[in-house]
Structure 1
Amino acid sequence: MGKGTVEWLLRGLCSRFCTALSALMLLTQRVTSLSLDICEGKVATAGPRSRSSWSGNLGEALTYLSYLLFFPALLGGPLCSFQTFQARVCNGSPAGPGHAARALAWPGLQLLSLEGLKVAVRVLLGASPGLAGCRQLECVLVVWATAGFFKLTYYSHWTLDAALLQAAGFEPVCEEQGPDADIWTLETAHRISVFTRAWNRSTARWLRRLVFQRSARWRRALTFAFSAWWHGLHPGQALGFLCWAVAVEGHQLRSARWRRALTFAFSAWWHGLHPGQALGFLCWAVAVEADHLVHAYARKWASSGPPRLLCRVLGWVHTQLTTAYILLAVQAHCPTTLWQLCTSCGIVFPLAHCLVLLLFAKGKRKWD
Structure 2
Amino acid sequence: MEISTTLATQHVSDPRLAEILDDPGFGVHFTDHMFTVEWTPEDGWHAARITPYGPLTLDPATAVLHYAQEIFEGMKAYRHDDGSIWAFRPEANAERMVHSSRRLALPVLEPADFIAAVEALVTVDQRWVPEEGAAEKSLYVRPFMIATDKFLGVRPAKHVTFMVIASPAGPYFSKGPLPITLWLTTEYTRAGRGGMGAAKTGGNYASSLVAQQEAIEQGCDQVVFLDGQELRYVEELGGMNMYFVYADGRIVTPQLGTILEGITRSSIIEIAGKMGHQVEERRISVDEWRDGVTSGEISEVFACGTAAVVTPVGSLRWAGGRTPEVAEAGKVTLAIRQALVDIQYGRADDTFGWMRRIV
Shorter-chain TM-score tier: under 0.3
TM-score computed with the length of structure 1 as normaliser: 0.26
TM-score computed with the length of structure 2 as normaliser: 0.26
Q: Which has the higher strand share?
A: 2
Rg larger in structure: 1
